[in-house]
């Protein structure tokens, strides 16, 4: 990884991992095209935050939420980001202890695949 925030040619890639073991090598998909490490990290963080919230059921304790996430959730890792890449372990405790708001889970607005679609102008 270079010392700057800008990614390799083609952009940074975020790998989505299925914690339930339902996918080959636990890899669900790889989302590429993030122009900066900050963008890739924000996407990964929101993706995991959303995954934790999808595992949450009213009345669950923090431990129950954590157990459900490890059994059924999805993790996200920025490939080749080294120490600069966001890691779910750094914030997972906070995520399970505190319910997220809608914006904290909105990874779709940061998805470069969607940005490309939103930028398409039929008049160009």
Residue range 23-65, pLDDT digits in tens: 667 888 999 999 999 999 999 999 999 999 999 999 999 999 9
- The whole-angstrom separation of Cα 28 and Cα 113 is 16
Task: Name the packing angle between helices 62-72 and 37-55 (round to 10°).
Answer: 110
Q: What is the pLDDT of residue 3?
A: 46
Q: Where are the beta strands (DSSP E) in the chain?
A: 12-18, 27-34, 74-78
Neighbours of 37 (CB within 10 A): 22
- pLDDT band (50, 70, 90) for residue 1: very low
- The reply to whether the predicted model has a pTM over 0.75 is yes
């Amino acid at each position: 990884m270079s010392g700057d925030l800008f990614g390799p040619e083609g952009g940074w890639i975020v790998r989505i991992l299925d914690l339930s073991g339902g996918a080959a090598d636990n890899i669900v998909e790889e989302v590429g095209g993030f122009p900066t490490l900050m963008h890739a990290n924000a996407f990964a963080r929101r993706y995991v935050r959303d995954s934790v919230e999808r595992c949450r059921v009213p009345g669950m304790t923090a431990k129950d939420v954590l157990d459900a996430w490890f059994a059924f959730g999805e993790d996200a890792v920025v490939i080749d980001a080294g120490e600069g890449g966001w890691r779910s372990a750094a914030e997972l405790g906070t995520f399970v202890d505190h319910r997220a708001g809608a914006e904290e889970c909105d990874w779709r607005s940061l998805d470069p695949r969607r940005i490309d679609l939103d930028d398409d102008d039929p008049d160009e």
